[in-house]
Amino acid sequence: MTKAPFAALEIGTSKVCALVGELREDGNIMITGMGNCPSCGVRKGVIVDMEKAAGCVQAAIQEAETSGSVEIRQVYLLVNGEHIRGALNQGSVPVFDPAGGISADDIDDVTDIARAINLPHDNELLHTIPQTYSVDGQAGIINPQGMHGARLSLDMLIVHGSRNILNNTIKAARDVGLEVLDVAFSGLCSALAALTPEQKECGAAVIDLGAGTTSHVVYADDAIAALGVIAVGGDHITNDISQGFTISLRRAEILKQESGAAVTDTGDRFRRIVIPPEVGFPACSVAAGDLDSIINARMDETLRIIKNELEKKSLLQELGAGVILTGGGSHLKGVETLAEEIFGVSCSIGKPRYFSGISTVHEGPEYTAPLGMIRYAVRSTTKHTKENISLGSLIKGWFIGR
């Protein structure tokens, strides 16, 4: 091992997850510790009960410490929720010495201008993501240094979110004695773990199907072109099943996982599924086709919301590498087929790449986001990252020390 352990913490709607990873000499990341705790006090990716959420964080951290034989005092924290937004901003500056070519100082100047966006007063900057440059109106330039031109422009994707919601997430970690080294949008981390350089170059959409939220990140021409979050996830499907069949939420979740599908199997739709009695709920049976129809309706609606967003931005035709599904919802039977029907491109389940160690982690799409966060931590400390992602200074700003 060449680096000290890194710990990633995700406070999700269904579970709080803590992962510990170390960089190996071969460049892969070995996961050495894992802790999970069912979430309490979190709804749609947002903390609604600080005491309960902090208790879940402590339980997950303690389990990760035990399994990894390590003491965790510092974490890299993932954040999510519908409050997270992406906004495009363009900066433009005159080139200081047009005859001598565009210099590193010119690039720094245009980057500062492109980052200077007026956010809503209650929002905080999370990421500034450079896209492409333009020189004298010629767009699509990746690296303008040394080129001749009189004016340099840069398109920047600004990612921001609610200051109070973000700081409440940080506080849940700080309340159990953890130092938060950095924060990142979980959707970006999923893409960082699941996509290859070739997929980014060809264009791809990573859709993370969580319990309370569904996020998406789109690459086009090797740059992040769009991202977003909607407050709809697997819990909504579970609730639909519970209400549709008058069964408990616990039983509805089991039914969804064990017998449900996002597309209806015409040869199986009349099969009856027996549901045993529970306190307050009598025994019953449901048709497999009815269960699948409920799941299909909600999942179809969710994916079409994302499709409509991509259509508005003319990004559907940019998905040469297709759609990659991550998150716990990607385990749902038939979800790949449904996504292919909706987006009209190939679809696959995202598997984290270049990780080893605990197999249930590095082989599971539900761990893609925290694994991506560990990869970011490794790259940021070794200064070898090639990702055009600059994390914001939430911790280094006004919150630190409070």
Phi, psi of 391 (to 5 degrees): -75, 145
Beta-bridge mates of residue 356: 30
Cα–Cα distance, 228 to 287 (Å, whole number): 35
Tokens in use for 394?
């939430």
Give pLDDT < 50 ranges for the chain: 1-2, 384-402
Phi, psi of 321 (to 5 degrees): -95, 5
For residue range 87-143, list pLDDT tens digits in order: 999 999 999 999 999 999 999 999 999 999 999 899 999 999 998 899 999 998 989
What class, spelled out in words, does domain 85-159 have in CATH? alpha beta
Give the three-state DSSP class for 97: coil
pLDDT of res. 396:
30
Q: Report yes or no: 39 and 169 within 8 Å, Cβ to Cβ.
A: no
CATH topology of domain 197-351: Nucleotidyltransferase; domain 5 (3.30.420)
Give the three-state DSSP class for 77: strand
Strands 272-275 and 29-38, by their bridges, are unpaired
Q: Report yes or no: 222 and 200 within 8 Å, Cβ to Cβ.
A: yes
For residue range 147-160, list pLDDT tens digits in order: 999 999 999 999 99
CA distances from residue 322 to 205, 206, 333 in whole angstroms, order as listed: 7, 9, 19
Strands 347-349 and 355-357, by their bridges, are unpaired
pLDDT of res. 385:
39
Cβ-Cβ contacts under 8 Å for 238 (sequence gap 6 or more): 249, 252, 253, 256
pLDDT of res. 383:
53
pLDDT of res. 210:
96
What is the CA angle 115-121-123, rounded to 5? 65
* Site of tokens 């200051």: 163
Cα–Cα distance, 131 to 114 (Å, whole number): 11
Give the three-state DSSP class for 13: coil
Numbered ranges of CATH 3.30.1490.110 in the chain? 85-159
pLDDT of res. 3:
60
Query: How far, in whole angstroms, is CA 57 from its chain's centroid?
Result: 19
Numbered ranges of CATH 3.30.420.40 in the chain? 197-351
Q: How big is the chain by its Cα radius of gyration, in Å?
A: 22
CA distances from residue 141 to 116, 158, 202, 243 in whole angstroms, order as listed: 21, 19, 17, 53
What is the CA angle 195-394-73, rounded to 5? 80
Nearest to 160 by CA among 121, 131, 209: 121
Buried/exposed 172-205: b ≥16 CB within 10 Å, e otherwise: bbbebebebbbbbbbbbbbbbbbbeeebbbbbbb
Specify the amino acid at residue 97.
D
